[in-house]
Amino acid sequence: MRLLYSILIIFAINLTIDDNSARANDEVPLLEFDSIVFPEVASMGMVTSQEVRATEVGVKILEQGGNAVDAAVAVGFTLAVTLPRAGNIGGGGFMLIYDAKKQEVNALDYREKAPMLASEDMFLNWRNNVDQTKARYSLLSSGVPGTVAGLVEAHKKYGSMPFEKLVQPAIELAKGMPMTYALSQSLNSRKQFLSFDQGSREIFIKPDGKNWQVGEQFKQENLAQTLSLIAETEGRDFYHGKTAKKIADYFKKNDGLMTLSDLKAYKAVWRKPVSTNFKGYDIYSMPPPSSGGTHLIQLLNIIKEFSIENSGASSARTSHLKTQAMKYVYADRSEYLGDPDFVSVPVERLTSQTYAKEIAKKIDLKKATSSANIKPGLYIDKESSQTTHFSVMDKNGNIVSNTYTLNFSFGSGKSIPEVGFLLNNEMDDFSAKPGSPNGYGLIGGEANKIEPGKRPLSSMTPVIALNRGKPWLATGSPGGSKIITTVFNFLLNRIVYNMNIAEATITPRIHHQWYPDTLFLEKGYPFDSMQELKTMGHNVIYRKPWGSLQSIEFQSGVFMGFADTRRPGALAKGYYEQANESTKNNTN
């Protein structure tokens, strides 16, 4: 009896120890249901993207034993078919990768490049003003596409499955797929814009001109053909073969600037991510030619100087401090940021804690400093833009965080019919004239002027974060100039206010970009905080929701994914061990 009693006590103590050690790792306890919104959960891996089918393709690749990069490559190609407004092979982007074996984060730059015939004043009219139609909707607005080179390069370095297999799902979908609600809505709402161009009309508009209906077959046969050539040649055809020739011919025939030599010369580039430690987490993001990472790090460094945990996530005090920090970093953006292959960008200084302290000291705790007292500028507001982010984590802890884009929704609106894809209008991200705003109202100068072969400055901010050296989080979003602050809002909600990733995503965002001197508040931001911000001197305005965060967190052996609910059609999905797999493991 005594023996039995002792055994029971030892057993009880063990249970308590196990329980405590598990809890110590759980910063957001998974089973306490203390939030009104909860992420998707799985045990083996997770994919989150803005499009249902793309996410499903990614999960299938993981289930077949592919790693996070394999799945990301498949998702990237699939989105080019299923989310044509932003997914692409005619655009470019940035991929951040965590290699679990080497325990390192690597950054892949596959941003578009200006053609060699581009020139500094190519978008200026006879009055020396920027011709916005030329910069945004003409063939001149397209940079040399980088997406295919990027996905091929990521696969070459990290992929484990045959490349062809990863493009196959996209090829099948391009041959024909039933319209989803989200796709029909996106095509129907831009019908007029897409019918201006003959190529886009052929691909995206029904021959009878009527609206697309949910469930109708949507076929992109020429795109399927282009993707097949990419699959067979591991991308070579796109830059050197038949497709390259078709692209170059199209540009020549229609007075564009892109040539076969531009395509042949295109290379994706590996770069060193920018990073900081924020409250114990190592946050990594994209260095120039994106401004996103540099300014996200700056924002985190500045906000670290204040004890914002003492006020609520959407309180006037926290919002005021965030806003002031935003004004300073967007002012820096206009001055210092550009393609590091062309200009020297002071990334180290900008991302240093010393510089963050200097800025923090200038911030008045009670009053808004007007943007005019920070630096001058102009602004044109522009909505209806698209980019897309997806994140993948695999069972071995590898992570991909990828943002890519055509710039505006459906890019320049122009497609090359024979190859079946849309062209970007990324050239508008250059500063066409110092002080003249781009499509997002962002002002640039010398550092971001147009030069042959140069990459335009971006705001895309893919993020990977580690928790004490272990894989933890991936996130990113579309939103033009608002991308940086969308990611910043999210990280503060998750890390400082301990919200789960779903809650951190849906909480209303705030945004300031120095010019205009306006604080944008998302629908749902508390009214009384808004009133208080007004009395502090902020020019506040409510706006319809923006951004679309696609996040994954790994914690205590569980993958949590959340696809932003702000736009239809997004999906976070993971998978569990198959029954036969677990039997296999048990017998081993």
Q: Which residues bind ligand DON (CB under 6 A)?
A: 385-387, 405, 407, 426, 429, 458-460, 478-480, 483
Q: Which is nearer to ligand DON, 332 or 426 (CB)?
A: 426
Q: What percent of the chain is helix, strand and coil (3-state, nearest 5)?
A: 40, 20, 40
Q: Are 561 and 505 in contact (CB under 8 A)?
A: no
Q: Which is nearer to ligand DON, 297 or 316 (CB)?
A: 297
> Which one of the listed residues 48, 387, 405, 461 is annotated catalytic?
387
- β-pair partners for 400: 97, 392
Q: How far is the CB of 478 from ligand DON (least distance, A)?
A: 4
Q: What is the DSSP letter of 381?
A: -
Of residues 242, 238, 227, 246, the one with CA closest to residue 263? 238
Q: Which is nearer to ligand DON, 474 or 483 (CB)?
A: 483
Half-sphere exposure of 121 (CA within 13 A, CB side): 6
Angstrom CA distances, 335 to 2, 119, 292, 371, 450, stand at: 78, 20, 14, 15, 15
Q: Which is nearer to ligand DON, 82 or 387 (CB)?
A: 387
Q: Which is nearer to ligand DON, 306 or 408 (CB)?
A: 408
Q: Are 334 and 377 in contact (CB under 8 A)?
A: yes
Q: Are 380 and 453 in contact (CB under 8 A)?
A: no
Q: Which is nearer to ligand DON, 409 or 500 (CB)?
A: 409
Query: Residue 276 catalytic?
Result: no
Q: How far is the CB of 445 from ligand DON (least distance, A)?
A: 17
Give the whole-angstrom CA distance, residue 394 versus residue 46. 7
Between the two ends of the chain, the Cα-to-Cα distance in Å is 37
Q: How far is the CB of 547 from ligand DON (least distance, A)?
A: 8
Q: How far is the CB of 389 from ligand DON (least distance, A)?
A: 9
Sign of CA dihedral 546, 547, 553, 559: positive
Give the whole-angstrom CA distance, residue 53 versus residue 35. 28
Q: Which is nearer to ligand DON, 225 or 412 (CB)?
A: 412
Q: Residue 543: enclosing H or E segment and its boundaries?
A: strand 540-543
Q: How far is the CB of 317 from ligand DON (least distance, A)?
A: 29
Cis geometry, peptide bond prior to residue 545 (ω within 30 degrees of 0): no
Q: How far is the CB of 162 from ligand DON (least distance, A)?
A: 31
Q: How far is the CB of 567 from ligand DON (least distance, A)?
A: 10
Q: What is the DSSP string of 422-465?
A: EPP-GGGGS-SSTT---TTS----GGG---TTPPPPB----EEE
Active site amino acids: 387
